[in-house]
């Protein structure tokens, strides 16, 4: 094994406690003693064994983040922000992905890596209420995203309905009337996209436009290919929208690809709005108008929630936080030269 506290103590001719004091910057250590111990530490190349420390303290300083898919830039960017936010509090992040599968989501929230993670931030897709109620693990759990649960856990999500409405409002403002919604979930009993779909419906109603269900295109997944396929299906059915509001940027990008293949111009023939504001949306041949959730805020709030549950003795009520969002208008609705 490696060098332990005891080895250092022996070398310096002091007790283990003294070495521990030095390592932990305990204030009441004479400079001379500190120097002597430090020398022994350096000579031996001592590194504290954090596993032992964790066992003793009952805390590891590691929090887990579970997202559906790291290949989705939204989650990659979010993960990046969470890692940074956690680092600012001296926490480390253990990252996992669930592929949006209920099984995996349950596994993760049931406390994988027992006692090695202090808390969990989970962005669920298929998880059900009952799965959450069955949770026995006692470490803090923070939920992220559009799904709503009535379980006593902190939940962080932007106002999806309002955000979706702002997107649709923008499309109406530029004169669009037949606005398709891409990305309703095809075969899921629950509807993960329900809030954005509701926003679409509400804003159309508010504008006195019908919400024609033939304009709602289901998808199986949340990727570019799913958006492309949904768009193609819609067009193949003879539906001809003058705008598309997609569940997320990836689907919007897939849809734009298909529109291009079919000779339809964006935005002249069909305007497109996405959701997430991933960096990719700022650099395509046609940049994408999109709803931009404040990812930094989401990450920060999520980490803060976990840490405050860990730190504050008071078991407060579950919190419901709403980070901000913005509509970022780009070429896919306004065209290149505006």
Partner DNA sequence: TTGAAAGCGCTAACAA
Partner DNA sequence: TTGTTAGCGCTTTCAA
Question: Residue 161 or 259: which CB sits closer to a copy of itself?
Answer: 259
Residue 24 partner contact from DNA, a copy of itself, none using kind-dependent CB cut-offs of 5 to 8 Å = DNA
Instruction: Supply the DSSP symbol for 281.
Output: G
Residue 6 partner contact from DNA, a copy of itself, none using kind-dependent CB cut-offs of 5 to 8 Å = DNA
Residue 159 partner contact from DNA, a copy of itself, none using kind-dependent CB cut-offs of 5 to 8 Å = none
Question: Residue 17 or 336: which CB sits closer to DNA?
Answer: 17
Question: Residue 29 or 239: which CB sits closer to DNA?
Answer: 29
Question: Residue 242 or 249: which CB sits closer to a copy of itself?
Answer: 249
| Cis amide prior to 252 (ω within 30 degrees) | no
> How do beta strands 320-321 and 289-293 pair?
unpaired
CB of residue 1 vs DNA: minimum separation in angstroms?
A: 3
Residue 18 partner contact from DNA, a copy of itself, none using kind-dependent CB cut-offs of 5 to 8 Å = DNA
Residue 21 partner contact from a copy of itself, DNA, none using kind-dependent CB cut-offs of 5 to 8 Å = DNA
According to DSSP H, which parts of 110-236 are helical? 129-133, 160-173, 194-206, 224-236
Tell me the residue length of the chain: 338
Instruction: Supply the DSSP symbol for 296.
Output: H
Residue 107, both tokens: 């596994």
Q: Which spans of this chain sit near a copy of itself (rule: CB under 8 A)?
A: 1-2, 45, 47-52, 54-55, 58, 60, 62, 69-71, 73, 76-77, 79-80, 83, 92-97, 111, 113-116, 136-138, 223-225, 228, 253-254, 256-257, 260, 279-280, 282-286
Residue 252, both tokens: 């919007």
CB of residue 290 vs a copy of itself: minimum separation in angstroms?
A: 15
CB of residue 26 vs DNA: minimum separation in angstroms?
A: 7
Residue 136, both tokens: 């026995």
CB of residue 202 vs a copy of itself: minimum separation in angstroms?
A: 30
CB of residue 313 vs DNA: minimum separation in angstroms?
A: 15
Q: How far is Cα 177 from Cα 293, in angstroms, rounded to an integer?
A: 26
Q: Which residues lie below 8 Å from residue 136, measured CB to CB, with a gap of 6+?
A: 110, 111
Q: Strands, E, within the chain: which ranges? A: 62-67, 92-97, 119-122, 141-144, 154-156, 179-185, 216-219, 243-246, 271-275, 289-293, 320-321, 325-328
Residue 315 partner contact from a copy of itself, DNA, none using kind-dependent CB cut-offs of 5 to 8 Å = none
CB of residue 227 vs a copy of itself: minimum separation in angstroms?
A: 9
Question: Residue 40 or 291: which CB sits closer to DNA?
Answer: 40
Rounded to 5 degrees, φ, ψ at 209 are -100, 145
Question: Residue 13 or 71: which CB sits closer to a copy of itself?
Answer: 71
Q: Which spans of this chain sit near DNA (rule: CB under 7 A)?
A: 1-2, 4-6, 14-18, 20-21, 23-24, 28-30, 32-33, 46, 48-49, 52-53, 55-58
Nearest residue to 4 via CA among 52, 39, 36, 38: 52
Nearest residue to 205 via CA among 174, 176, 162, 168: 168
Question: Residue 1 or 316: which CB sits closer to DNA?
Answer: 1
Question: Residue 118 or 203: which CB sits closer to a copy of itself?
Answer: 118
Rg (C-alpha) for the chain, rounded Å, is 26
């Amino acid at each position: 094994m490696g060098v332990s506290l005891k080895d250092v103590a022996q070398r310096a001719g002091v007790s283990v406690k003294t070495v521990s004091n030095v390592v932990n910057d305990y204030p009441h250590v004479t400079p001379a003693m500190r120097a002597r111990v430090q020398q022994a530490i350096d000579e031996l190349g001592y590194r504290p064994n954090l596993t032992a420390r964790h066992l003793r303290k009952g805390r590891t300083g590691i929090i887990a983040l579970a997202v559906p898919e790291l290949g989705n830039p939204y989650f990659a960017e979010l993960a990046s922000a969470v890692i940074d936010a956690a680092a600012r509090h001296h926490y480390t992040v253990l990252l996992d992905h669930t592929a949006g599968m209920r099984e995996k989501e349950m596994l993760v929230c049931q406390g994988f890596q027992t006692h090695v993670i202090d808390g969990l931030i989970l962005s669920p897709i298929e998880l059900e209420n009952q799965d959450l109620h069955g949770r026995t693990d006692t470490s803090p759990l923070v939920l992220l995203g559009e799904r709503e649960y009535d379980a006593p856990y902190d939940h962080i999500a932007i106002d999806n309905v309002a955000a979706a409405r702002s997107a649709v409002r923008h499309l109406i403002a530029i004169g669009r009337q037949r606005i398709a919604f891409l990305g309703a979930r095809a075969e899921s009993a629950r509807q993960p996209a329900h809030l954005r779909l509701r926003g679409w419906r509400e804003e159309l109603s508010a504008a006195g436009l019908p919400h024609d269900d033939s304009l709602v295109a289901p998808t199986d997944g949340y990727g570019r290919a799913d958006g492309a396929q949904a768009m193609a299906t819609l067009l193949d059915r003879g539906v001809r929208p003058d705008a598309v509001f997609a569940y997320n940027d990836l689907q919007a990008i897939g849809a734009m690809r298909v529109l291009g293949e079919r000779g339809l111009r964006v935005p002249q023939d069909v305007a497109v709005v996405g959701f997430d504001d991933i960096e990719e949306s700022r650099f395509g041949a046609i940049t994408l108008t999109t709803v931009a959730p404040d990812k930094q805020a989401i990450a920060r709030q999520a980490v803060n929630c976990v840490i405050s549950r860990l730190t504050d003795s008071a078991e407060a009520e579950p919190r419901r936080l709403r980070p901000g969002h913005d509509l970022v208008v780009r070429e896919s609705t306004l065209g290149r030269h505006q």
